[in-house]
Each structure stands twice: as structure tokens, then as C-alpha cells.
Structure 1
């Protein structure tokens, strides 16, 4: 059915109206279920909307669903970020960064391999350093000055085992590392269902164990794990790991 004259892509309208900083940011908000059009949850960034459509972003002040996830993990692990300089790897829209700031972090260095994703509120925050186009696999000691007492991360489409060297290069020896483990990127494509969902609890445990082994080889010990209170955008269960260097 032809689209009426004047109808435009939802993501473009969101950017032009200031609801999102970029089309990729708009797409993430839509995928996370934060956007409604005329009272109904939007399903696609490319969907066409009428000129008079009522578009609402209902994220209750959060810049991404990641914030809901990290809050619970920090509470469970008892990791304090007060007065600390933190590194957020795979920052995306900045959900983790936002939580670190609200928990009292002195400064957050936010890095991501992508571009134009960090929420404008965080881009403008003087406590945030935004570095784009940074691959965590290639991090070296001294890249951002002194090592970080707190490192958090949320990565997709890559196994965390591949970024261990980069992470330990920039984490302080007495620091805390908190990462989100996504089993669908850890267990191998052959073990992921056709829907992209990893439902077998044994595979969840295997994913966590694989990440733990990779850090153990770098002398970092798994202290605790906890399941994320919020499932991934694709419906997968996710898990946080807390690691510290062996003393």
C-alpha cells in the first residue's frame, strides 16, 4: 500500500526533533522498546510516520536499557565507584556511563567501536570523555592516562575472550572489572538456535566459564556472577561477571 505524502522515517523524525542524537541512537531506542507512536510501541526505525504522529520516548530518564542492568550488578557485587575514574567499554548510548555517574564516579571515559551513539546529555557532560572508533582488542596501557580502578563493559558480536588483553592493559591491579556476558556471542554459532536465542542453562554456564578461563590466563579471578535483571533486546538471558586481579 503506498505511503501518504508527507510520511517520513521514524528515526529521521526523531533526530530532527531532538529525541535522538543520531539515526543509530534512534534505532537503539526503538529496538529497546522506549519509543511509542500514537500510543503503540514502535517496531522499526524505518517505519513511516504521519506528519501529525505523536512520538514519545518513554525511557524514564535513562539513556539505554544497560543502565537498568548495571545498577543491579553493582549492588549485588558491592562494587563502589564513588570518586573513581571509570572506563566504559562498548558504551553505545551510555547506559552504563549514566549509572556510573549517578553512583558517584568522578569521571567516565566512554569508548565504542561505533560512532554517534552516545546520548547528547552525556556528550555534553564535563565528567564524560567520549572516544569513538575504539576497538577494545587494541587497548594499551597508557591509552587514557593512568589505569582505571573500575572497568565495565557491554559488547556485542564478539567474544569477551578476545578483549581480555586489552581490558587488563588498562585496568588497575587493584581494580574491579564488571562485564556483561552474552551467551549468544560466547558459545559459537553452531549452538545458537535458529531464533538467535540460547536457552540451555548448560550453555549459559559454559559461556560464563569460558570468559572466566580467559581472564584467569591473565591472572584475573572471577569473584562472582549474577544474572541480569533485564533480558537482552533479542530476548537472550545475560549475566554479569565481576573480576579482580589475583593477589
Structure 2
């Protein structure tokens, strides 16, 4: 009699074997094509595999999520050193940006997200992280951000940066620093977004960058540049990091 081997979802197996900390991050890795089962690339987080299936992840992430890699690329490109800074991570999700800031020496990070329960446990229990869940950034106030922020980073979804940057400006002081991830699919009009939520037209993506650049300048922010993200978004979109530092006029 053959004993049927127990099967589990692939995302659950990744967590159980400690490749990642959360199911959300497992899903991101799988959809990004970075997970292989028996030498074949896996495509679906919910696909069932035997518990003893050979699993490989192309890269062990240096941060709790792929977002940390994106932010690290921006910090390096713009030579931003957040050592000793107080930072705000808007759209913290599982905490890739927050983790990256801490690993680069940030003194304190306000982790803000409209969702609940996504932030990685190691960050949730870190005394350097102030967690605000179920908080829409448009409702943020001095009750939440009680110290002047040296750097605000943004990794938001399903909303334009034009709606989430202004509420944070009052907390940035005389020399505001903003490093934001531009996701073109949430900036361009719907008809410009193709199947799978991907903006394939490079010019449309650059139009999104230009729009956010102009928007920042309209807010009296000094544009310092932009750079394509080192890795693509979870669904395959090319994203960009844009940096504003200082004001155009006092």
C-alpha cells in the first residue's frame, strides 16, 4: 500500500522552511519567478507540492521583502545616508523599506500603512519602529508623527503619489527629503494600463515620472533626479525612484 504524501501550498512551504517570513513575501517571490521546485520555475503560490519537494530560491533577500532592494538602490544612487535619521515609511506593507532604512542606520522609522497585520514580526517588535496600521496617510497628524522627519519614503499602491505626498510635508521641516517609488500603473490613466496591470509603453512610464516631478516642484520641492528600480514590481512593471531634497524657495 502506497502512502500518500501530504501536500501543502507552495507559499506555505516557503514560510515553513524559513525562506521568507510571511505569505505575502512568499507570493511576491513566486510571482517574480524566483522560486524553483524540482528545478522548474514555480508560477502559482497556491499550487500544491509534497512537503519534501526540493525548493530553491534564486536569491536570499537581504531585507524582509523585495522592496528593500528597491530602496537600497535609490539610497545608493542618490548617495543618501540615513544614519541617525528619523524616517517615515509610507505604505510600509511587510516592511522592506523600513528594514532597509534600519540596516542603513536610521534611528527611528514611522511605519505607516492602511492595511493590518502585514508588517514583518521582527520589525513589529523592533523598538526603533513606530507602527501605525489601518491609517490612511491622508489622515495622518501630529498625534502620529511626533518628531521631525529627516526622510520620507513612499511605496504605496492603488493610489497616486499626488495624493499621499502632501499630507506628509508638514512633518519634514525646512529641508524636506522625499524618496518615492513611482508605480506607473497607478499614475497613468486606465486606458494606458495593459493586461496584467502592466504599463508597457516606455513613453507612458516616463510621462508618469515627469508628472510626479512637476507635481513635486509645484509643492516647492527641489527635484534631484530619478532612477529606474533595480528590480521590477511584483507583476512585472518597471518602476522608478524619484528624489526631492530641499525647497525651491523659502
> 1:21 Cα shift?
4.4
- How far residue 195 of structure 1 moved from its aligned partner, in angstroms, is 4.2
Shift of 1:144: 2.1
Equivalent pair of 1:24/1:116 in contact (CA under 8 Å):
no
Give the C-alpha shift of residue 17 in structure 1.
5.4
Query: Cα distance, 1:185 vs. partner?
Result: 1.0
- The whole-number CA distance in structure 1 between the counterparts of 2:32 and 2:125 is 23
Which residues of 2 match residues 54-203 of structure 1 at below 5 A?
54-57=54-57, 58-203=59-204
Give 1:65 shift: 1.5
The secondary structure found in structure 2 opposite 1:174 is coil
Could you say if the C-alpha distance between residues 47 and 238 of structure 1 is closer, same or farther in structure 2, counting changes exceeding 3 Å? same
> Deviations for 1:185-219, whole angstroms, at most 9, x for unmatched residues?
11111112234322333212211122123333332
Distance between the aligned counterparts of 1:112 and 1:30, measured in 2? 23
Say which is worse superposed, 176-185 or 217-226, in terms of deviation: 217-226
2:37 touches 2:54 (CA, 8 Å); kept in 1? yes
Counterpart of 1:43 in structure 2 is 43
TM-fit CA distance, 1:44? 1.6
Aligned residue in 2 for 1:213: 214
So what's the TM-score if we normalise by structure 2?
Answer: 0.85
Are the aligned partners of 2:13 and 2:51 in contact in 1 as well (CA < 8 Å)? no
Distance 1:108 1:33 in 2: 31
TM-score (norm: length of structure 1): 0.86
2:65 and 2:32 mapped to 1: Cα distance?
8
* Unmatched runs of 5 consecutive residues or more in structure 1: none
**Is the 1:87–1:109 contact (alpha carbons within 8 Å) kept by the matching residues of 2?**
yes
Q: Deviations over 1:109-144 (max 9, x none)?
A: 212222222222322332222322222222224422
Q: Give the RMSD, CA atoms, in angstroms.
A: 2.3
The 8 Å contact of residues 212 and 221 in structure 1, kept in 2 or not, is answered as no
1:87 aligned counterpart, secondary structure: strand
Distance 2:137 2:194 in 1: 28
Distance (whole Å) between structure 2 residues aligned to residue 142 and residue 135 of structure 1? 14
* Aligned residue pairs, count: 244
Deviation at 1:14, TM superposition (A): 4.1
**SS across alignment from 1:177:** strand
Residues 64 and 120, structure 2, Cα contact 8 Å, conserved in 1: yes
Higher mean Cα deviation, 27-36 or 180-189? 27-36
SS state at 1:114 partner: coil
